[in-house]
């Protein structure tokens, strides 16, 4: 059996390296866990050790998590409970030595990897590190001690948020919350980890006091240090969870119950409660289906263009500084790609830049970054009304008005200014990429790159192959989307492509039902009660009524069997744009819905239809 773990002794400190041979990432599979156990036994018997540091030999990160295939293969609760107890017992050994153990975390540290790090005495992370307990997204819960260790280590309120959402915590936030004890630059990780373990060996009390300070204060005293306060926290967490899931997913509720029950009991009893819950969840249909979705998303990220070298995107430009344009520019800058954001009017450019700044502000402040970090990212976005410096651009993403004549016009304006190798991508929702190519002198380098709103949150990007789009261009757009953290899906140049072919048909049908006299708010309630995150009319507002109307017209003209509703076109003519305009089927303040638009029934003659239906 090839060794996935090896160690060496440096000045009475064991440096343990995790490095599964032939694999891109470290995964906590059966072999890995067995060798973790064997290594722990060996280190426990070593004479004269004063500490240990655990590092990863993988460039990508520390540990990617548990083996999904093993989780998927469990078909009875007792087997799930047994596997959880096995993992718990092995990881527990790494926190029970007579000397301190420091986990040195870089890159991604997910799921079981985070649970292993929590089991060790101390943690240091590089600034590029990210930790998470994402098991809830697979319909299970952290089963190697995560539900018991994290709430005992940091603020209970923050621990509940991290476990119940499965969200990723970046390095700076992890240090601020107390998940890691120190933060350092990536190139200094090994050196600083060795320094930390020696400091911990000399003065462990200093670290214990420092951790306590992170959970002290009036709020902690009132809410976390007494049973009544904890009950309030659990009640709030339960209400927030119910609001997000609608009660359709068993894992968040079970995780909350496990934390609530375990926090007041001895640690070992808490582990038993956790293991039992994992066994119950791991065989549910919700878990099996969520794992299937995860596997599909991972498969979608693998390029279908082996042997084709995509063009590297070093600089980009976005044409159109609206909601989509500003979002796309922010996404590119977030990945450290300099981007030009162009529109025809200065106010539009300023609006796009403001949209990008707001997204950065929300994300970076959550990571503990200040205004200077936001400014640094915004420096990567150049707002302009001119085609300046386009001779250095590798990728242009067009996000202008959803009209073919406008899109062809900007393509003709832009193309002569670009390098010969540049790729032009349209963000159209449904217009023909092949028709757009007719305005190009190099149609093989024109394709579709359809993002969804909000760009920073929606994971899917459609890559559209027009009649003349080359494999090289499709491969470049596919790789660019993947590098932006998206899931790229290649679709044919057909009306509606993939998503809108399904989505807009659904939205159009909802509008037809409303035209038949059915109360549209009740349709939204029915669909959210069923389990969808929002109803069709709330979704129309999110997409944009103007976009929905245009795509609906395109689809209904393309397919004779579809009857076009006039509802979205009527609303569009009245200037009702949806969320981006502040009013649609709902009204909006500060980007949030403030309730149904009470005037829209009269504006669209829906009340008349409803009365006729009642008669």
Half-sphere CA count of 46, side-chain side, radius 13 A: 20
**Ranges 98-102, 462-466, 560-564: which has the least confidence:** 560-564
Q: According to the model, what pLDDT value does residue 210 have?
A: 61
Out of 173, 192, 415, 462, the active site residue is 462
Burial class (CB in 10 A: 0-12, 13-18, 19+), 34: middle
Whole-number pLDDT of residue 219: 65
> pLDDT value at position 613?
53
143-147, 192-196, 262-266: least confidently modelled range:
262-266
- How far CA 146 is from CA of 37, 111, 125, 346, in Å, comes to 18, 8, 18, 51
Reply yes or no on whether the pLDDT at 611 is more than 80: no
What pLDDT sits at residue 376? 94
Confidence (pLDDT) at 206: 64
pLDDT (tens digit per residue) in 274-289: 999 999 999 999 999 9
* Average of per-residue pLDDT values in the chain: 92
Cα–Cα distance for residue pair 405/152, rounded to 1 Å: 61
DSSP run (H or E) holding 183: strand 182-184
- What is the per-residue DSSP string for 313-366? -S-EEEE--SHHHHHHHHHHHHTT--EEEE-SSHHHHHHHHHHHHHHHHHHHHH
pLDDT band at 478 (very low <50, low <70, confident <90, very high): very high
Q: Structure tokens of 424?
A: 């032009």
Give the pLDDT score at 297.
87
pLDDT class for 304, splitting at 50, 70, 90?
confident
Rounded distance between C-alpha atoms, residue 117 and residue 120, angstroms: 5
> What is the per-residue pLDDT for 330?
97
What does residue 317 show for φ and ψ, rounded to 5 degrees?
-140, 145
Q: Shortest CA distance to 113 belongs to which of 225, 18, 49?
A: 18
Q: What is the pLDDT of residue 363?
A: 86
- Residue 217: pLDDT band with limits 50, 70, 90: low
pLDDT of residue 227: 80
> How many other CB atoms are found less than 10 A from the CB of residue 556?
18
Q: What is the pTM of this model?
A: 0.84
The string over 465-500, giving b where at least 16 C-beta atoms fall within 10 Å of a residue's C-beta and e elsewhere, is bbebbbebbbbbbbbbbbebebbbbbbebebbbbbb
Of the candidates 99, 92, 126, 91, the one whose C-alpha atom is nearest the C-alpha of residue 204 is 99
Residue 614 has pLDDT above 60, yes or no: no
30 has a pLDDT exceeding 70: yes
Which residues is 55 bridged to in the sheet? Answer: 17
Q: Any bridge partners for residue 492, and if so which?
A: 465
Domains of the chain: 5-292 (3.90.226.10), 316-492 (3.40.50.720), 499-614 (1.10.1040.50)
Please report which confidence band the pLDDT of residue 2 belongs to, taking 50, 70 and 90 as the band edges.
confident
Q: What is the pLDDT of residue 459?
A: 93
Helix (H) or strand (E) holding 37: helix 30-45
Whether the Cβ atoms of residue 211 and residue 178 lie closer than 8 Å to each other:
yes
More confidently predicted of 227 and 610: 227
Q: What is the mean pLDDT of residues 67-89?
A: 95
462 is catalytic: yes
Both structure tokens of 371? 């205004």
Segment 333-383, tens digit of pLDDT: 999 999 999 999 999 999 999 999 999 998 887 777 778 889 999 999 999
User: Is the pLDDT at 292 greater than 90, yes or no?
Assistant: yes
């Amino acid at each position: 059996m090839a060794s996935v773990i090896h160690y060496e002794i440096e000045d009475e400190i064991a440096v343990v390296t995790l490095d599964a041979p032939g694999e891109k990432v470290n995964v906590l599979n059966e072999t890995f866990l067995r060798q973790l156990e064997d290594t722990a036994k060996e280190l426990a018997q070593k004479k004269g050790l004063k500490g240990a540091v655990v590092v990863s030999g993988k460039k990508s990160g520390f540990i990617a998590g548990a083996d999904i295939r093993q989780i998927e293969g469990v078909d009875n609760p007792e087997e799930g409970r047994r596997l959880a107890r096995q993992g718990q017992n092995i990881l527990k050994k790494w926190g029970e030595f007579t000397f301190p153990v420091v986990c040195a975390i870089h890159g991604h540290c997910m799921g079981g990897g985070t649970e292993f790090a929590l089991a060790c005495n101390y943690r240091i992370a590089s600034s590029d590190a990210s930790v998470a307990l994402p098991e809830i997204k697979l319909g299970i819960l952290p089963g190697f001690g995560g539900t018991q260790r994290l709430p005992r280590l940091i603020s209970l309120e923050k621990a509940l948020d991290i476990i119940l959402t499965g969200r990723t915590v970046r390095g700076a936030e992890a240090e601020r919350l107390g998940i890691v004890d120190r933060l350092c630059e990536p190139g200094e990780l090994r050196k600083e980890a060795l320094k930390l373990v020696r400091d911990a060996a000399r003065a462990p009390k200093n670290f214990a006091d420092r951790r306590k300070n992170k959970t002290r204060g009036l709020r902690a005293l009132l809410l976390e240090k007494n049973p009544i306060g904890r009950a309030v926290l659990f009640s709030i967490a339960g209400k927030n969870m119910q609001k997000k899931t609608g009660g359709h997913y068993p894992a968040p509720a079970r995780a909350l119950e496990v934390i609530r029950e375990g926090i007041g009991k001895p640690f070992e009893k808490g582990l038993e409660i956790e293991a039992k819950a994992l066994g119950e969840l791991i065989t549910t249909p919700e878990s099996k289906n969520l794992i299937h979705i995860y596997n599909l998303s991972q498969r979608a990220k693998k390029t279908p263009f082996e042997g084709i070298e995509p063009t590297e995107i070093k600089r980009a430009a976005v044409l159109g500084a609206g909601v989509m344009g500003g979002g796309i520019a922010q996404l590119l800058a977030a990945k450290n790609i300099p981007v030009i954001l162009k529109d025809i009017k200065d106010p539009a450019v300023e609006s796009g830049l403001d949209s990008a700044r707001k997204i950065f502000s929300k994300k970076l402040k959550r990571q503990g970054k200040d205004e200077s970090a936001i400014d640094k990212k915004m420096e990567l976005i150049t707002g302009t009304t001119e085609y300046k410096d386009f001779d250095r651009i590798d990728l242009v993403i067009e996000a202008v008005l959803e009209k073919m004549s406008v899109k062809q016009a900007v393509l003709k304006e832009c193309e002569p200014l670009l390098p010969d190798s540049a790729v032009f991508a349209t963000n159209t929702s449904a217009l023909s990429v092949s028709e757009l190519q007719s305005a190009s002198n190099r149609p093989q380098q024109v394709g579709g790159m359809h993002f969804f709103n909000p760009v920073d949150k929606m994971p899917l990007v459609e890559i559209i192959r027009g009649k003349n789009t080359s494999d090289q261009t499709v491969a470049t757009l596919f790789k660019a989307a993947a590098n932006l953290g998206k899931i790229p899906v290649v679709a044919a140049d057909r009306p509606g492509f993939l998503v809108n072919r399904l989505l807009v048909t659904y939205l159009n049908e909802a509008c037809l039902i409303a035209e038949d006299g059915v109360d549209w708010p009740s349709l939204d309630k029915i669909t959210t009660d069923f389990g969808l995150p929002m109803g069709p009319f709330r979704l129309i507002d999110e997409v944009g009524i103007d976009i929905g109307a245009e795509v609906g017209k395109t689809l209904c003209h393309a397919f004779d069997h579809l009857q076009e509703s006039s509802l979205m076109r009527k609303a569009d003519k009245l200037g009702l744009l949806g969320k981006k305009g502040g009013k649609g089927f709902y009204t909006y303040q500060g980007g949030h819905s403030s309730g149904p638009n009470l005037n829209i029934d009269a504006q669209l003659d829906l009340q008349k239809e409803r009365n006729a239906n009642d008669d």
